[in-house]
Amino acid sequence: MKQEMHHSARLALIVKSLPDKPGVYRFLNADNVIIYVGKAKSLKKRVASYFNHEASRPGKVRVLVSHISDIRTTVVETELDALLLENNLIKKYQPKYNIQLKDDKTYPWICIKAEPFPRIFPTRNVVHDGSEYFGPFASVKMMNTLLELIRQLYPLRTCNFRLTPENIAAGKFSVCLQYHIKNCLGPCEGLQQEEDYLQAVAAIRTIVKGNIGEVIQSLKQRMESYAREMVFEKAQVVKEKMLLLESFKSKSTIVNPSIHNVDVFFIQSDEKAGYVNFLKVVNGAIVQIHTVELRKKLDETDQELLLYAISDIRERFNSDAPEVIVPFVPDVSWEGIRFTAPQRGDKKALLDLSARNVKYYRLEKQKQRDLVDPQRHSRRILATMKEDLHLSELPQHIECFDNSNFQGSYPVAAMVCFRDAKPSKKEYRHYTVKTVTGPDDFASMQEIIFRRYSRLLHEKAELPQLIVVDGGKGQLSAAVKSLEALNLRGKIAIIGIAKRLEELYYPDDSIPLYLDKKSETLKVLQRLRDEAHRFGITFHRARREKGTIKTILTDIPGIGPATATLLLKKFRSIKKLRDAGSELLTQVIGPAKAKLVIDFFQQENQPEGHDEV
């Protein structure tokens, strides 16, 4: 105990001595391992916040604080410096309680090799030998498309010969197949001058950077120059290259070409992770697309996740764009960057595109997880329902009730059962309302709920975690009365779902709960309600038809309920009964009663006022 007090006192002294300046702080555990790295506008205020108001701190933060054994800080000039240093330290030490970047891929680059007559090729290994690297490319397909375009535009060597002037002059090399099929112009034998080769490399460098418009304009000027000199063969070759570039550019341009050198970021998050999409736009063309998943550790805000992603991705993709389009302007001063949160126009269209990329990325990730673990999908939905509906346990077993009647006649009810958010049709039940006369939905609901759960209690069967009644406050109150009578109030969660605005009602609460129209919880409740309605209407229609037939038959003099039931089971409908011959009716109910039925239908078909002879 004394040791703990001494430890807390030492940390308190460290906190008191911290400066009121921007910086980065590091928490270390008893093994002197960094477990958390954070940034702050004021080191003193930010670090002190971890040790103040202990009761109100989130549970994850309390766990982190319990493992802090030492605190180290670095003072920097600006908040931006703190952000960049924090980012680098997280990458270096990967602390246990910091954001985890779920991105373990090695992305490819396009390399322009530092050598005479430079080769241009894709690689995943960046070697610091003076060569130029462009990328990384999140899409290998996009990179290969770009390389294929370059090969069509400019014949380049693919061999790894050392093409120094001395070696070429000494005749050490000879042209290969690539020269004969016109994929190379033969610099190894001095058939292409290095100046001409480097002009092609310069154009390629511009294309790879995304400035395709500049290359097109340069080619257009060259084509016109050849045409004026009447060198039409060369003009045609240049024109074909220009058309290729224009075709490639047209497939990439999605907004106004005046939007030049802009980064676009969009973020969506849930309890466990944040998802950030990045678009790199040059001259209205998207030249980079990348999405990352950031695993939360301490309930980080969207701003914290977004700033971390912007810092990491811009460094990774070597972006120097002066404008960054974001869904909200972060509270940070970033030298050399202007944050924009557009509300309309072409820039808003780019932000919307980035949002769609995040959405599809999340859906794809979720599908992959569901394929690996089919039960994961159900568990996730149940966990979402538990949170959205403020339940004390997962609603693995849900029962939903619906009433049906026709002007008060033939009142019935239906109960459908969902297990793990999926229908369990073998557990569906129909009920004929017995104690209620007239159109009284409240009393019908009270009767059916009582009958259902008194039976489950008598049979000692499993009770559901959630009951859903189709209706508003009235139906819900009636159902609750039955639960109270069975001493089940508070033991089973119960809600009502009203049809008009999809509002959810809780016992003893007059204010309804409204869920997002796109939420998975509401979709499950709607499916429950619709399934109960379908199942109930089907039963009600069948019962009403049977009841109508039975009433007509019992109106026949000499035909009682027993005979009417027998005919109903045999013929199912009045039409089939009318069409049945005397012989078939005699076989079912005997000759005397058969004659009564036949005479009744014949008399029914006689014109009004006609006396049967």
pLDDT, tens digit (0-9, with 9 covering 90-100), for 342-354:
998 888 888 888 8
Domain 262-369 classification at class level:
alpha beta
CA distances from 418 to 70, 258, 343, 523 (A): 52, 55, 43, 13
Supply the pLDDT for residue 613. Answer: 23
Buried b (16+ CB within 10 A) or exposed e, 111-134: bbbeebbbbbeeeeeeeeeebeeb
Is the fold of 262-369 the same as that of 385-542?
A: yes
Supply the pLDDT for residue 407. Answer: 44
SS3 479: helix
Q: Give the burial class of 202: count Cβ atoms within 10 A of its Cβ; 0-12 exposed, 13-18 middle, 19 or more buried.
A: exposed
Supply the pLDDT for residue 611. Answer: 32
- Give tens-digit pLDDT for 394-422: 999 999 998 875 444 557 788 899 998 88
CA distances from 590 to 230, 577, 595 (A): 110, 15, 9
In the chain, where are the structural domains located? 2-97, 262-369, 385-542, 555-604
pLDDT-based confidence at residue 332 (cuts at 50, 70, 90)? confident
The label of the residue with tokens 């506008």 reads 41
Is the omega angle on the peptide bond into residue 136 within 30 degrees of 0, that is, cis? yes
Select from 471, 451, 467 the least CA-distant residue to 459: 451
Buried b (16+ CB within 10 A) or exposed e, 383-402: ebbbebbeeeebbbbbbbbb
Select from 123, 151, 149 the least CA-distant residue to 136: 123
Q: In what order do the strands lie in the sheet with 273-282?
A: 100-102, 285-295, 273-282, 262-269, 323-325, 338-340
pLDDT-based confidence at residue 248 (cuts at 50, 70, 90)? low
Supply the pLDDT for residue 264. Answer: 92
pLDDT-based confidence at residue 545 (cuts at 50, 70, 90)? low
Share of the chain above pLDDT 70, in %: 85
Q: What are 451's two structure tokens?
A: 């009958």
The torsion angles phi and psi of 539, rounded to 5 degrees, stand at -65, -40
For the domain spanning 385-542, the CATH number is 3.30.420.340
Q: What are 563's two structure tokens?
A: 């005979």
The model's pTM: 0.50
pLDDT-based confidence at residue 608 (cuts at 50, 70, 90)? very low
Q: Which residue has the higher pLDDT, 443 or 134?
A: 443
**Res 262 pLDDT > 60:** yes
- Give tens-digit pLDDT for 283-328: 666 777 788 888 887 778 888 889 888 888 888 777 888 999 999 9
The β-bridge partners of 504 are 497, 513
Q: In what order do the strands lie in the sheet with 132-134?
A: 120-123, 109-112, 132-134
For the domain spanning 2-97, the CATH number is 3.40.1440.10
Supply the pLDDT for residue 406. Answer: 46
| Amino acid letter, residue 516 | D
Architecture of domain 555-604: Orthogonal Bundle (1.10)
Could you tell me if 346 and 256 are in contact, meaning their C-beta atoms sit under 8 angstroms apart?
Answer: yes
390: region left, alpha or beta (phi > 0 left; psi from -120 to 50 alpha) = left
**Res 220 pLDDT > 60:** yes
Supply the pLDDT for residue 592. Answer: 83
